[in-house]
Amino acid sequence: MSYCDVKTVETDVIIVGSGSAGCMAALTARRQDCRTALVDKGGIYRSGCGAAGEDHFVAVLEEGEEWDTPEVFQKWYNTLTHGLCNPKVVENGFLKHIKWLTGYLEDLGVKMRLDGKEYIRTSSYSAPGRYWINFDGVDLPTKIAAESEKIGVDFFPKTAVTDLIIEDGRVAGVAALEFRTKTIYLFKCKAAVLCTGNVTRMYDNLSGIPYNTWNSPYNNGLGQRVAFMAGAKLANMEFIGFNVTIKNFGCPGLAGFTGMGAHLVNAAGERIAFKYHPLGEKAPRWAICKAVHTETQEGRGPIYIDARPLSKDDLEFLLTNLLPVDKKSINDFFEQKGLDLRKDLLEVEMTGGEIPPMSGHVGGILVDENMASSVPGLYAAGGNALALTTLSGAMCAGITAAQAAAEYAGDFGNVERFDQNQIEKIKERIYRPLEDKDGSISYIEFEDKIRQIMSRYVRVGRTEAGLRTAMGLLGRLEEYIPKIKVENGHELMRFLESQELLTCSQMIARGASVRQESRFGLSHYRTDFPETKDEWRKFVIQRRLDDGDVEISFQPAYQL
Ligand SMILES: Cc1cc2nc3c(=O)[nH]c(=O)nc-3n(C[C@H](O)[C@H](O)[C@H](O)COP(=O)(O)OP(=O)(O)OC[C@H]3O[C@@H](n4cnc5c(N)ncnc54)[C@H](O)[C@@H]3O)c2cc1C
């Protein structure tokens, strides 16, 4: 093959994805004295959902208030997730590190106290207390990346991971494509930590432009796909997420508004959130989305944020200190639209659907309290794992995963030689579209088809027949993969992403057809099984077998 420039790199622990979880994981693994490689298809210093910096930091600080304890947090999180997140993962992958992490970020110079004196803490999404610190996280990603670089983490930017290399039933390496030069990297490693975040671009959104999402559009499910292909267990993949975003401004902001006491109103000016949940605007996010969706569907839209009930000081704080932290252009946007939130309403809309990177989401790679997957040597943290997937949750889970991966790596040497059959297959899969000049369809057509199928049959209002149709159509799409053509390295990366989207879409549809109930509002709404049922308070687990079949199993929810 003419394109084959292959480089081999030896390391101990490889971290895939350099967002919130990945950078923290890399820093931690290197501090355990491991050779550590950090690979991202974007830049290392800023990438992923938190690239622009963020403004809310979920923390339990034990400062004296009744709700500010690990026990109360655990209870709330167990209720929020219906017991579908392992409390030991929350304990070991979040609560164990959060106080230390908050202090560490302050020491690094991240502005955790906006007025320099006290933490400003607010409450959102049904929490019993003010777990969200309003902070200025603009510098957070760059500061953690700089620390990693300083202590010798090896950076591989613009390098898209494509496959895991498994030898003797455990992770022995990772394959990646540096798409600007079309070089394939083969990393020999002893353990890998997957930190590739949530999954976007599987559903149409209102703008009609797949990349116009509030999430990072480049998180497409690599972690979930490679874990699945390696035979790891993934759980609850049927649940998708929606978010309420400011119309024509592809970024969330709702937690900022509702956390401080703004209302959600319909076109008639009626406050809507209490109709759908007793906690009103402080309800879990899925209930807010259900409110916005139902009011709109039933002809009472558009829906607006009404910030007028806020006190003058709170509104001023929101507009000048909080929203512009990670939404630099928000005040320009208000100005261009002629909006003054002191007197005007702000129209919102619901996103198209994604595997979300947010608190309360319960789908992903199934991990134990060390963030270890069911494949030896494979760990996961952040949005691709079934754990607490907020910014602080991802960072804490990154610490736990890297500590465990480093310890595991100590027991092994690198493989001397990869199995060449496996490597040839990987090279063939990556390079085939560049070699084959007879390809007849573009990755864009292929990806559009996934979105059409998912939006039509696997969004809100799922039915047995629709899901069966979706599974059939998604399966048939596999036949078109050999017909996709690409012109350059960039398109080659997109081609590989489209397969990540396909695998994740199939997992969502498969899980949705198994779970014969509805749960978490629109996240999994079956019109043929509209009730939430106690007997379905359990994990739906998928595992790919060696012959390609998928085994489905169940695990009861956790009761606290
Ligand atoms: C606009 C926005 C605002 C948010 N605000 C907040 C907030 O204020 N507070 C909060 O708690 N949460 C917030 N979140 C959620 C928060 O960003 C996520 O919970 C967190 O970033 C998850 O971390 P992660 O490491 O799992 O994913 P990410 O930080 O998204 O990182 C994933 C990384 O994987 C890389 N990657 C993907 N595929 C590949 C591949 N094939 N090869 C190599 N690398 C790959 C990506 O480039 C990316 O860098 C916000 C999210 C968004 C989108």
Domains of the chain plus CATH, in order, are 5-240+355-409 (3.50.50.60), 244-350 (3.90.700.10), 429-556 (1.20.58.100)
- Work out which ligand 1 atom sits closest to the CA atom of 219: 37
Average pLDDT over residues 488-516: 97
With beta carbons less than 8 A apart as the criterion, state whether 269 and 250 touch: no
Read off the tokens for 173. 């390496």
Q: Is the pLDDT of residue 2 over 70?
A: no
Q: Which pLDDT score is estimated for 438?
A: 81
Quote the ligand 1 centre to 56 CA distance (angstroms).
14
Among 504, 412, 496, residue whose Cα is nearest residue 171: 412
- Testing ligand 1's pocket by substitution, the residue of 54, 224, 497 carrying the most ligand atoms inside 8 A of its CB is 54
Lowest-confidence segment of 148-152, 432-436, 470-474 by average pLDDT: 432-436
Establish whether residue 161 lines the binding site of ligand 1, counting it when its CB lies within 6 angstroms of any ligand atom.
yes
Q: Which pLDDT score is estimated for 421?
A: 95
Query: Whose alpha carbon is nearest atom 9 of ligand 1?
Result: 56
Average pLDDT over residues 260-264: 91
Q: What is the C-alpha to C-alpha distance for residues 365 and 233, in angstroms, rounded to an integer? A: 6
Give the dihedral of Cα atoms 143, 145, 147, 153; nearest 10 deg: 180
Q: What is the mean pLDDT of the chain?
A: 94
Q: 187-200 pLDDT, tens per residue?
A: 999 999 999 999 99
Read off the tokens for 175. 């394959």
Quote the ligand 1 centre to 358 CA distance (angstroms).
10
With beta carbons less than 8 A apart as the criterion, state whether 287 and 99 touch: no
Establish whether residue 523 lines the binding site of ligand 1, counting it when its CB lies within 6 angstroms of any ligand atom.
no
Q: Is the pLDDT of residue 1 over 60?
A: no
Q: Is the pLDDT of residue 91 over 60?
A: yes
Query: Whose alpha carbon is nearest atom 51 of ligand 1?
Result: 49
Q: Is the pLDDT of residue 419 over 60?
A: yes
Establish whether residue 330 lines the binding site of ligand 1, counting it when its CB lies within 6 angstroms of any ligand atom.
no
Other CB atoms within 10 Å distance of the CB of residue 107 = 8
**DSSP, residue by residue, 269-282:** --B-GGGT-TTGGG
Establish whether residue 558 lines the binding site of ligand 1, counting it when its CB lies within 6 angstroms of any ligand atom.
no
Establish whether residue 219 lines the binding site of ligand 1, counting it when its CB lies within 6 angstroms of any ligand atom.
yes
Quote the ligand 1 centre to 191 CA distance (angstroms).
22
Quote the ligand 1 centre to 343 CA distance (angstroms).
34
Among 167, 165, 189, residue whose Cα is nearest residue 175: 165
- Work out which ligand 1 atom sits closest to the CA atom of 358: 19
Establish whether residue 382 lines the binding site of ligand 1, counting it when its CB lies within 6 angstroms of any ligand atom.
yes
DSSP state of 208: S
Residue 204 main-chain phi, psi, to 5 deg: -65, 145
- Work out which ligand 1 atom sits closest to the CA atom of 47: 49
Q: What is the C-alpha to C-alpha distance for residues 98 and 36, in angstroms, rounded to an integer? A: 23
Average pLDDT over residues 93-120: 94
**Percentage above 90 pLDDT, the chain:** 82
Query: Whose alpha carbon is nearest atom 27 of ligand 1?
Result: 197
Average pLDDT over residues 47-71: 94
- Work out which ligand 1 atom sits closest to the CA atom of 160: 42
Query: Whose alpha carbon is nearest atom 4 of ligand 1?
Result: 54
3-state secondary structure of 252: strand
Among 528, 241, 523, residue whose Cα is nearest residue 357: 241
The pLDDT-based confidence of 250 (bands split at 50, 70, 90) is confident
List CB contacts of 94: < 8 A, sequence separation 6 or more.
387, 388, 392, 393, 396, 397
The pLDDT-based confidence of 212 (bands split at 50, 70, 90) is confident
Read off the tokens for 1. 């093959």
Query: Whose alpha carbon is nearest atom 43 of ligand 1?
Result: 40
Q: Is the pLDDT of residue 3 over 90?
A: no
Average pLDDT over residues 543-549: 97
Quote the ligand 1 centre to 67 CA distance (angstroms).
28
Q: 445-490 pLDDT, tens per residue?
A: 999 999 999 999 999 999 999 999 999 999 999 999 999 999 999 9
Q: 351-384 pLDDT, tens per residue?
A: 889 998 788 899 999 999 999 999 999 999 999 9
Establish whether residue 50 lines the binding site of ligand 1, counting it when its CB lies within 6 angstroms of any ligand atom.
yes
- Testing ligand 1's pocket by substitution, the residue of 49, 136, 224 carrying the most ligand atoms inside 8 A of its CB is 49
Q: What is the C-alpha to C-alpha distance for residues 91 and 98, in angstroms, rounded to an integer? A: 10
List CB contacts of 115: < 8 A, sequence separation 6 or more.
none
Establish whether residue 360 lines the binding site of ligand 1, counting it when its CB lies within 6 angstroms of any ligand atom.
no
Q: Which residue's entry shows tokens 């048939």?
A: 476
Helices 489-514 and 443-457, axial angle in degrees (round to 10): 20
Q: 216-235 pLDDT, tens per residue?
A: 999 999 999 999 999 999 99
Average pLDDT over residues 210-214: 87
3-state secondary structure of 532: coil
Give the dihedral of Cα atoms 140, 318, 334, 272; nearest 10 deg: 110
Establish whether residue 55 lines the binding site of ligand 1, counting it when its CB lies within 6 angstroms of any ligand atom.
yes
- Testing ligand 1's pocket by substitution, the residue of 187, 391, 430, 493 carrying the most ligand atoms inside 8 A of its CB is 391
Q: 278-328 pLDDT, tens per residue?
A: 999 988 888 999 999 999 999 999 999 999 999 999 999 888 887 887 788
Q: What is the C-alpha to C-alpha distance for residues 553 and 532, in angstroms, rounded to an integer? A: 20
Summary count for the chain: helices (H), strands (E): 15, 22
Query: Whose alpha carbon is nearest atom 8 of ligand 1?
Result: 56
HSE at residue 489, side-chain half, CA atoms within 13 A, is 16
Establish whether residue 253 lines the binding site of ligand 1, counting it when its CB lies within 6 angstroms of any ligand atom.
no
Q: Which pLDDT score is estimated for 501?
A: 98
The pLDDT-based confidence of 63 (bands split at 50, 70, 90) is very high
Establish whether residue 378 lines the binding site of ligand 1, counting it when its CB lies within 6 angstroms of any ligand atom.
no
The pLDDT-based confidence of 258 (bands split at 50, 70, 90) is confident
Read off the tokens for 437. 């000049």
- Testing ligand 1's pocket by substitution, the residue of 196, 351, 386, 498 carrying the most ligand atoms inside 8 A of its CB is 196
Q: How many residues does the chain have?
A: 560
Among 138, 137, 152, residue whose Cα is nearest residue 26: 152
Query: Whose alpha carbon is nearest atom 52 of ligand 1?
Result: 49
Establish whether residue 81 lines the binding site of ligand 1, counting it when its CB lies within 6 angstroms of any ligand atom.
no
Average pLDDT over residues 237-245: 93
The pLDDT-based confidence of 405 (bands split at 50, 70, 90) is very high
